[in-house]
């Protein structure tokens, strides 16, 4: 069965510091991995995705994520956090035989000035 | 349109009533998804349309839930005999094609409250 785990309910980072939001996954086939961000009272916004190839993918707003097949992880990263990055972040996965996206429970990212 | 549009943004209904939630996807997107999101959780898949047909409705919780997309564009999620447990944010998403590596674009959701 497919599953996604975001082990941290909340991550606190000081502005200007690097940030990491963790995600691990389980799928039976080849994984397609996604990160979305949700601001209060707004819809989910696509940040980036991993399909194949380079394990480091770059996305919107300076975010990047690193795919690690052996650890089945897809952690979201940013070198220097901004207060405006504070939001709810979701990791999602599907494999190449499914249409459904399976979602993690989300991680609340708080960036303090 | 510029993005996925969902109406209404908020809906309060009494237990036992019927509700319809509307989704207008991005123009040209053939794939359309409905998800449900409860507080503190990630979205939960309900149904996927490819064109006019429901290609996967395995996420619909029971036969009170039904969705249509008659012309392959706008979709309506219909809930009969609403229950308090149906209260959630209902999200609609569309993508150029379905599945695989294609990212979906989400509307702002309809917050349904059953009282």
The alpha carbon of residue B103 is apart from the nearest alpha carbon of chain A, in Å, by 7
Q: Rounded to an integer, what distance in angstroms lies between the CA atom of residue A28 and that of residue A67?
A: 16
Instruction: Give the rounded percent of residues in chain B with a pLDDT score beyond 70.
Output: 99
Mean per-residue pLDDT, B26-43: 93
Q: How confident is the model at residue A43 (pLDDT cuts 50, 70, 90)?
A: confident
The alpha carbon of residue A89 is apart from the nearest alpha carbon of chain B, in Å, by 10
Q: Rounded to an integer, what distance in angstroms lies between the CA atom of residue B95 and that of residue B111?
A: 22
- B100: chain A residues, CB-CB within 8 Å: 32, 94, 96
Mean per-residue pLDDT, A75-103: 93
- Enter the tokens of residue A61: 């707003």
Mean per-residue pLDDT, A70-79: 97
pLDDT in tens, B9-19: 999 999 999 99
> Pick from B42, B56, B104: which is nearest to A106 by CB?
B42
- The more confident residue out of B40 and B33 is B33
Write down the pLDDT at residue B106. 95
B 32-61 → A contacts, CB under 8 A: 33, 40-45, 48, 55-56, 58-59
Write down the pLDDT at residue A40. 83
Write down the pLDDT at residue B48. 94
How many angstroms separate the Cα of A72 from the Cα of each of A25, A55, A92? 6, 12, 13
Q: Is a pLDDT exceeding 90 seen at residue B64?
A: yes
Q: Is a pLDDT exceeding 70 seen at residue B1?
A: no
Instruction: Give the rounded percent of residues in chain A with a pLDDT score beyond 90.
Output: 81
- Enter the tokens of residue B52: 């006019």
Cβ <8 Å between B43 and A101 = yes
The alpha carbon of residue A97 is apart from the nearest alpha carbon of chain B, in Å, by 8
Write down the pLDDT at residue A98. 77
Cβ <8 Å between B99 and A43 = no
Q: How confident is the model at residue A12 (pLDDT cuts 50, 70, 90)?
A: very high
**Closest Cα in chain B to A41:** B108
- Is residue B20 within 8 A of residue B7, CB to CB? The reply is no
- A92: chain B residues, CB-CB within 8 Å: 42
Write down the pLDDT at residue B35. 96
Write down the pLDDT at residue A88. 96
Cβ <8 Å between A98 and B99 = yes
Q: How confident is the model at residue A41 (pLDDT cuts 50, 70, 90)?
A: confident
Cβ <8 Å between A46 and B48 = no
List the one residue out of A92, A61, A95, A91 whose CA is nearest residue A76: A91
- The more confident residue out of A8 and A53 is A8
**Closest Cα in chain A to B39:** A105
Lowest-pLDDT range of A93-97, A103-107, A109-113, B38-42: A93-97
Write down the pLDDT at residue A10. 97
CA B9 to chain centre: 12
Write down the pLDDT at residue A15. 98
Write down the pLDDT at residue A28. 87
Q: Facing residues of A11 across strands? A: A109
Cβ <8 Å between A105 and B42 = yes
Q: Rounded to an integer, what distance in angstroms lies between the CA atom of residue B58 and that of residue B77?
A: 14
Mean per-residue pLDDT, B45-69: 94
């Amino acid at each position: 069965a497919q599953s996604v785990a975001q082990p941290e309910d909340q991550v606190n980072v000081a502005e200007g510091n690097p940030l990491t939001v963790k995600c691990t996954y389980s799928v039976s086939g080849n994984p397609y991995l996604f990160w979305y961000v949700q601001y209060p009272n707004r819809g989910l916004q696509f940040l980036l995705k991993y399909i194949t190839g380079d394990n480091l993918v770059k996305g919107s707003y300076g975010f990047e994520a690193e795919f690690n097949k052996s650890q089945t992880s897809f952690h979201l990263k940013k070198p220097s956090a901004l207060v405006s990055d504070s939001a709810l972040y979701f990791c999602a996965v599907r494999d190449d035989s499914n249409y459904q996206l399976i979602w993690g429970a989300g991680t609340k990212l708080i960036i303090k000035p | 349109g510029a993005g996925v549009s969902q109406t209404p943004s908020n809906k309060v209904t009494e237990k036992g009533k019927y509700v319809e939630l509307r989704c207008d996807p991005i123009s040209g997107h053939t794939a359309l998804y409905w998800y449900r999101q409860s507080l503190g959780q990630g979205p939960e898949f309900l149904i996927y349309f490819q064109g006019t047909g429901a290609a996967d409705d395995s996420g619909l919780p029971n036969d009170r839930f039904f969705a249509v997309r008659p012309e392959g564009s706008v979709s309506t999620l219909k809930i009969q005999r609403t229950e308090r447990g149906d209260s959630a944010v209902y999200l609609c998403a569309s993508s150029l094609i379905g599945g695989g590596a294609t990212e979906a674009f989400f509307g702002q959701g309809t917050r349904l409250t059953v009282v």
